[in-house]
């Protein structure tokens, strides 16, 4: 995620941080003038900074600090050093959660990078009725993940629609929600289904920027549709693909709701389908929540999320060289 | 979602519109053959069935009367014994309308605080020069990078210390001014030309007047995107309300549905009715706003 500078070199403070602001309103380099009281910016910023600091940065610091204590929901806890982290390493559920979260990334991300691009290609042309299709394809994004989860629980039920269809085709019933591996795969499918529309829009915006001339030149050279897609479109939207990969891998790694709804709060029998965030929620909340241990888990989630993102961005950079 | 200002707004707009107009008729200088158009529509319909079908099946289940076998074979999408009884049934088991009201309160509060707070902060970051501006910007960027999932336990403890656990205020507070929205607004304001504001300053307008009368009306598009996302985010959120709320009377719809699903898993008709109640307002809202929404998003809110 990048923030770009303001457009067209309008001299912002970001570009000339060293320039001391003039004491009184007056002409300045770049034609800009000081037009407000010294306190105004801070009044404007106060609500945002307050909320972000109180409910974003402070909790982060206290998570890191708390991970070294044996705090519980109702008690502050003592400093225990790295005990939580040592326990983590020996916690079978932690490894199950880590495995499932990483599997989720591997299963979901390739599909979410490729399928929405194809979908965006499909809805890109301005043909009659296309706005309807675009909006319809976006509907799963709009719906709450709980609604989506419950819809699919019903569809994938032993007696649900999909099993009825499978049986009609002579395949017999499949225990989508009872087999731990199938359940994880089903949850991944639901995540992909729900995410398609979101990434489709991102790709649509990127496709609008692909120069038409390239396509036309390519077509003149006699390249077919597939060839044009691979030699013009894909390279042109490559940086968007990296962005989608980064966003979707971070999202997949932190998966909670789909698996929680389909497998139950504890991740099925023996916690076989639990994910890392499910584990954090399970361990850290409630009246006897082990806040310290959950904090250590949270720190691991944070570090791995960040690592995952850097990994994707780095892969992009080396490829560009 | 990367936050980037449109580098050259006018040029991009021009190209996009021109491109769209031509796109309808030609491709690479040629008309689209009839068979290709047909294939395109077939594919579109297939994807449509895949994305909308599950919702329709849920709607159909919710309308099926008690005498109708919802497991019957072959399955039928059209209910034979149409009834709204399941909706009344849900309301008898769980106070689903109270849950909806709670969700609405949370979502509206989230929209108001996010629009106001993000616009104020974004304006200061984009349009004012002051010592510490970069530091303020860094604070927002850092806050955006910390995943909510990794600080939720600490937030939960903080809320307990503030005695806000199990209140709707506790549900709203952590997300009530999203760092991402601040950065979105900052980019929107930064893309406006300075000259108008400078003229207003010369005419004696204060910074507040310039913000409210000049800058704010010019970023309505981005403001609308922030509003829609804030509403959807709050209405759809599951994990945080699940952690904060314990008292059934405070439940939001998503938590209420999970409760319904857990307790009355056997009665699919009721669960289906509950999900329809939860998703219908959003689909209606989205259908009304989709035109400006797609324009706003396409214009640079979500841009790679």
| DSSP code string of A74-103 | SS---B-TTHHHHHHHT-HHHHHHHHHHHH
Find the mean pLDDT for residues A163-191.
91
- Are residues A40 and B128, on separate chains, in Cβ contact within 8 Å? yes
- One domain, residues B162 and B280: yes
Determine the Cα–Cα distance for residues B273 and B254; give it in Å rounded to an integer: 13
What residues are paired with B27 via a beta bridge?
B30
> What's the CATH code, domain A79-320?
1.10.3720.10
Is B14 part of a structural domain of the chain?
A: no
Q: Give the mean model confidence (pLDDT) for residues B148-168.
A: 92
When comparing pLDDT for B122 and A267, which is higher? B122
Residues 6+ apart with CB under 8 A from A12: A5, A6, B129, B190
Q: Which residues of A16-44 are buried (b: 16+ CB within 10 A; e: fewer)?
A: eeeeeeeeeeeeeeeeebbbbeeebbeeb
Q: How confident is the model at residue A36, as a pLDDT?
A: 80
Same domain, B78 and B100: no
User: What is the arithmetic mean of pLDDT over B17-22?
Assistant: 41
The whole-angstrom distance between A265's CA and the closest CA on chain B is 10
B192/B285 same-domain check = yes
Q: How many domains does chain B have?
A: 2
- Closest-approach residue (CA) in chain B for A290: B153
Give B287's pLDDT tier (boundaries 50, 70, 90): confident
Rounded to a whole number of angstroms, the distance from the CA of B288 to the nearest CA of chain A is 10
Of B251, B257, B160, B262, the closest CA to residue A289 belongs to: B160
Distances (CA, A) of A244 to A158, A263, B6, B125, B208: 34, 27, 19, 27, 38
- Comparing CB atoms, the residue among B57, B136, B279 nearest residue A155 is B57
Q: What is the pLDDT of residues B186-221, one digit of tens each?
A: 999 999 888 888 888 888 888 899 999 999 999 988
CB distance B141–A3 less than 8 Å?
Answer: yes
Instruction: Indicate yes or no: CB of A42 within 8 angstroms of CB of B140.
Output: no
pLDDT exceeds cutoff 60 at B20? no
Is the pLDDT reported for residue B244 higher than 50? yes
Q: For residue A193, which of A301, A97, A98, A107 has the smallest C-alpha distance?
A: A107
> What pLDDT, on the 0 to 100 scale, is given for residue A25?
45
Q: What is the mean pLDDT of residues B268-279?
A: 92
Q: Which of A42 and A75 is assigned the larger pLDDT?
A: A42
Query: Residue B87: what pLDDT?
Result: 92
By the 8 A CB rule, do A259 and A187 touch? yes
Beta carbons of B75 and A164 less than 8 Å apart? yes
Q: Is the backbone of residue A211 left (phi > 0), alpha (psi -120 to 50) or beta?
A: beta
Domain boundary among B82, B113, B139: B82
- pLDDT above 90: residue A58: yes
Please check the confidence at residue A76 and state whether its pLDDT lies above 90. Answer: no
Same domain, B49 and B167: no
A149 phi and psi angles, rounded to 5 deg:
-60, -45
Q: Average pLDDT for residues A180-188, to the nearest whole number? A: 95
Q: Which two tokens stand for residue A165?
A: 């269809």
Within-domain flag for B61: yes
Contacts 24+ apart (CB under 8 A), B281-285: B281/B100, B281/B235, B282/A142, B282/A143, B282/A144, B282/B232, B282/B235, B282/B236, B283/A139, B283/A142, B283/A143, B283/B55, B285/B228, B285/B231
Q: What percent of chain B has pLDDT over 70?
A: 87
> pLDDT by residue (tens digit) across A166-178?
988 888 888 899 8
Residues B60 and B113 in one domain: no
Judged against a pLDDT cut of 80, whether residue B19 lies above it is answered with: no
Residues of A in contact with B302 (CB under 8 A): 201-202, 205
Instruction: Please tell me if residue B163 touches chain A, with a CB cutoff of 8 Å.
Output: no
Among candidates B27, B74, B143 on the partner chain, residue whose Cβ is nearest the Cβ of A56: B143
Q: Does residue B164 sit at the A interface (CB-CB below 8 Å)?
A: no
Please identify, among B26, B56, B82, the residue that sits at the C-terminal boundary of a domain.
B82
- Using CB atoms within 10 A of its CB, is residue B14 exposed (0-12), middle (13-18) or buried (19+)? exposed
Q: What are phi and psi of A10, to 5 degrees?
A: -65, 120
Provide the pLDDT confidence category of residue A18 given band limits of 50, 70 and 90. Answer: very low
Residues B73 and B115 in one domain: no
Contact A10 B194 (CB under 8 A): yes
- pLDDT higher than threshold 80 for residue A1: no
Cβ–Cβ gap B286/A136 under 8 Å: no
Contact A144 B254 (CB under 8 A): yes
- Report the 10 Å Cβ neighbour count for A15: 12
Residues of B whose CB is below 8 A from A204: 298
Report DSSP letters for B169-214, one per residue.
HHHHGGGSS-HHHHHHHHHHHHTS-HHHHHHHHHTT--HHHIIIII
| Residue spans of beta strands (DSSP E) within A6-92 | none
pLDDT for A179 beyond 60: yes
- What is the arithmetic mean of pLDDT over A298-319? 89
Per-residue confidence (pLDDT) for residue B296, from 0 to 100: 66
Structure confidence by residue, pLDDT tens digits, B107-137: 999 999 999 999 999 999 998 888 899 999 9
Dihedral (C-alpha) A187, A190, A195, A200: value to the nearest 10 degrees? 130
Domain boundaries, position B260: 95-299
Distance CA(A33)–CA(A27), nearest Å, equals 5
Confidence of residue A33 (pLDDT cuts 50, 70, 90): low
* Interface contact B133-A13, CB threshold 8 A: yes
Cβ A209–B12 below 8 Å, yes or no? yes
pLDDT, tens digit, 9 for 90 and up, residues B73-99: 777 778 888 888 899 988 888 899 999
| Range with top average pLDDT, A125-139, A188-202, A283-297 | A188-202
Residue with tokens 């000259």: B195
Report pLDDT for B41. 94
pLDDT value of residue A40: 86
Is the separation of the CB atoms in A104 and A184 below 8 Å? yes
Between A and B, how many residue pairs show a Cβ–Cβ distance under 8 A?
359
pLDDT confidence bin for A32, thresholds 50/70/90? low
B175 vs B289, residue with greater confidence: B175
Cα distance between residue A13 and residue A102, in whole Å = 42
- B249 shares its domain with B108: yes
Could you say which of B82, B113, B138 is where a domain stops? B82
Among A18-22, A239-243, A285-289, A307-311, the minimum mean pLDDT is found in A18-22
Partners of A79 in the beta sheet? A69
User: Binning pLDDT at 50, 70 and 90, where does residue B240 land?
Assistant: very high
Residues B50 and B170 in one domain: no
Nearest alpha carbon to residue A87 among A281, A290, A301, A304: A290
The verdict on a CB contact (< 8 Å) between B121 and A127 is: no
Q: Do A48 and B57 touch (CB under 8 A)?
A: no
Provide the pLDDT confidence category of residue A28 given band limits of 50, 70 and 90.
very low
The nearest CA of chain A is from the CA of B222 a distance in Å of 15
Interatomic CA distance for residues A246 and A1, integer angstroms:
9
Euclidean distance between the first and final Cα of chain B, in Å? 7
Asked if residue B28 belongs to a domain, the reply is no
Question: Does residue B237 sit within a domain?
Answer: yes
| Percent over 90 (pLDDT), chain B | 51
Looking at the fold, whether B142 and B285 belong to one and the same domain comes out as: yes
The answer to whether B42 faces chain A, any CB pair under 8 Å, is no
Nearest-angstrom CA–CA distance, A197 and A137 = 6
Q: What is the structure's pLDDT at B30?
A: 53
- Residues of chain A found within 8 Å of residue B268, distances taken between Cβ atoms: 154, 157
B46 touches chain A (CB under 8 A): no
What pLDDT shows up at residue B286?
85
Chain A closest CA to B177's CA: distance in Å? 6
Closest-CA residue of B relative to A253 is B149
Measured between beta carbons, which residues in chain B are less than 8 angstroms from residue A60?
Answer: 146, 150-151, 154
Nearest residue of chain A to residue B234 (CA atoms): A144
- Same domain? For B211 and B127 the reply is yes
Checking if the pLDDT of A75 tops 90, the result is no
Smallest Cβ distance to B298: which of A33, A155, A204? A204
CATH number at residue B131: 1.10.3720.10
Q: Which of these, B100, B106, B239, lies nearest to A281 by C-alpha position? A: B239
H/E stretch holding A207: helix A180-207
Burial class (CB in 10 A: 0-12, 13-18, 19+), B291: exposed
Which residues of chain B are within 8 Å of residue A196 when distances are taken between CB atoms? Answer: 51
- Fill in the DSSP letter of residue A9: G
Residues B140 and B73 in one domain: no
Residues constituting chain A: 321
Average pLDDT of chain B, as a whole number: 84
Name the token pair of A124. Answer: 């890109």
């Amino acid at each position: 995620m990048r923030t770009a500078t303001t457009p067209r070199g309008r001299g912002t403070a970001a570009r000339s941080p060293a320039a001391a602001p003039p004491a009184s309103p007056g002409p300045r380099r770049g034609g800009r003038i000081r037009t407000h009281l010294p306190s105004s910016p801070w009044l404007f910023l106060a609500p945002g900074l307050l909320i972000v600091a109180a409910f974003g940065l402070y909790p982060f610091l206290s998570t890191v600090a708390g991970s070294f204590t044996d705090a519980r929901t109702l008690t502050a806890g003592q400093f225990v050093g790295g005990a939580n982290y040592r326990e983590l390493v020996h916690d079978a559920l932690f490894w199950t959660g880590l495995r499932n979260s990483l599997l989720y990334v591997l299963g979901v991300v390739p599909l979410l990078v490729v399928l929405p691009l194809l979908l965006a290609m499909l809805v890109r042309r301005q043909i009659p009725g296309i706005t309807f299709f675009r909006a319809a394809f976006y509907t799963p994004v709009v719906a709450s993940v709980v609604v989506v989860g419950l819809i699919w629980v019903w569809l994938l039920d032993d007696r649900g629609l999909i099993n009825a269809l499978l049986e009609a085709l002579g395949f017999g019933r499949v225990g989508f929600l009872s087999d731990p591996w199938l359940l994880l795969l089903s949850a991944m499918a639901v995540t992909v289904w729900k995410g398609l529309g979101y990434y489709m829009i991102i790709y649509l915006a990127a496709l609008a920027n692909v120069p038409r001339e390239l396509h036309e030149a390519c077509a003149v050279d006699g390249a077919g549709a597939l060839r044009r897609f691979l030699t013009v479109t894909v390279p042109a939207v490559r940086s968007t693909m990296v962005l989608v990969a980064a966003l979707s891998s971070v999202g997949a790694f932190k998966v909670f709701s789909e698996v929680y709804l389909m497998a139950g709060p504890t991740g099925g029998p023996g916690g076989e389908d639990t994910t890392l965030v499910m584990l954090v929620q399970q361990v850290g909340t409630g009246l006897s929540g082990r806040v310290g241990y959950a904090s250590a888990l949270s720190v691991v989630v944070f570090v791995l999320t960040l690592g995952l993102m850097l990994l994707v961005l780095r892969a992009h950079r080396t490829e560009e060289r | 979602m990367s936050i980037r200002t449109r580098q050259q707004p006018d040029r991009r707009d021009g190209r996009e519109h021109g491109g769209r107009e031509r796109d309808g008729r030609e491709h690479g200088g040629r008309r689209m053959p009839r068979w290709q158009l047909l294939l395109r529509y077939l594919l579109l319909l297939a994807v449509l069935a895949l994305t909308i079908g599950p919702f329709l099946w849920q709607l159909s289940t919710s309308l099926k009367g008690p005498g109708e076998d919802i497991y019957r074979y072959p399955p039928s999408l059209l209910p034979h014994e149409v009834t709204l009884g399941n909706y009344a049934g849900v309301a008898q088991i769980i106070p689903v309308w109270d849950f909806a009201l709670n969700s609405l309160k949370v979502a509206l509060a989230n929209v108001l605080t996010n629009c106001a707070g993000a616009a104020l902060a974004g304006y200061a970051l984009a349009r004012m020069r002051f010592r510490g501006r970069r530091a303020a910007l860094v604070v927002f960027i850092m806050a955006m990078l910390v995943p909510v999932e990794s600080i939720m336990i600490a937030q939960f403890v903080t809320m307990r210390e503030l005695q806000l656990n199990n209140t709707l205020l506790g549900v709203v507070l952590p997300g009530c001014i999203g760092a991402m929205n601040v950065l979105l607004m900052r980019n929107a304001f930064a893309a406006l030309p300075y000259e108008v504001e400078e003229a207003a300053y010369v005419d004696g307008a204060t910074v507040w007047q310039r913000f409210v009368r000049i800058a704010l009306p010019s970023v309505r598009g981005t403001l609308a995107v922030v509003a829609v996302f804030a509403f959807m985010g709050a209405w759809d959120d599951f994990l945080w309300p699940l952690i904060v709320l314990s008292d059934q009377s405070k439940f939001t719809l998503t938590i209420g549905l999970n409760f319904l699903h857990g307790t009355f898993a056997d009665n699919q008709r009721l669960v289906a009715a509950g999900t329809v109640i939860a998703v219908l307002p959003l689909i209606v809202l989205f259908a009304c706003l989709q035109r400006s929404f797609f324009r706003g998003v396409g214009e640079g809110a979500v841009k790679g």
